[in-house]
Each structure stands twice: as structure tokens, then as C-alpha cells.
Amino acid sequence: MISKTVFLAVGVVLALVVAVSAVFLASGDPDGLDSTALVTQGQKELTLPAGPDAELDESVFPGEFEYEAPFPDYTIEGADDLTNVGLMVGGVLLALVAVFGVGYLVTGIRRSGSL
């Protein structure tokens, strides 16, 4: 039987390995909202890759819909790979702290009989 501490440590290490790997393995051409927009605009077939000249038409409602993406193309301007790895590790650790904090609060409330 594996102890809780070892199980937790292995889980944290696996989460960090996935986060760090994601920086280097993520697609430079993600198949998400951009792909859906190209299909909707008739510039791409659903099951085929987009052609090299496919462009998103963002002028559906000229002058009425403008935005600036907080992370254009899923990058932070001027960030190198080491910075991206640091941000991913920090994000994973922050998420783990939040999840374990909520779990600790819930179990503390249950033990005290308030729930």
C-alpha cells in the first residue's frame, strides 16, 4: 500500500511535468476558436487543415466589435521559454494550493460539525 505522502508527492511531480512539457509540446497552430471561426467563414473544411492563405475576417460588425486579446496567440510578449516554464510551474503550484486550501477548509468544517 502506498502512503498518502508518496501518493501526493507523485501527483504534484506529475502535474509539474505535464505543465513544463506543455510549454514545449503545445501546437503553434491550436485548433480552437480560430479554427471554428475559419469553418464558420467558409475558409476551412471541418476535417481538413486550413489553407496557408486562410485569414480570420474580424470585420463582421465594423466599428462595433473591437477587442485586444490579453495573450495574443497564447504568448506573453517578450517572454522566453524559461519565463513560460516559470509561469506554468507557478500556475500549477497556485492551483494546488487553492485546491488543498479548499479541501482543508471543507474537512475542518466537517470535523467541527458546522456542515
Summarised one tens digit per residue, pLDDT across range 56-85 is 666 665 666 566 767 666 667 788 888 888
Domain that holds residue 64: 4-112
Only one residue has cell 485586444, namely 68
Per-residue confidence (pLDDT) for residue 97, from 0 to 100: 94
Per-residue confidence (pLDDT) for residue 19, from 0 to 100: 86
| Count of domains for the chain | 1
SS3 track for 53-90: CCCCCCCCCCCCCCCCCCCHHHCCCCCCHHHHHHHHHH
Answering whether pTM is above 0.85, one says no
Percent of the chain with pLDDT over 90: 22
Per-residue confidence (pLDDT) for residue 99, from 0 to 100: 93
Per-residue confidence (pLDDT) for residue 95, from 0 to 100: 94
pLDDT digits (tens, 9 = 90+) for 33-55: 666 777 777 766 666 666 666 66
pLDDT, greater one: 6 or 85: 6
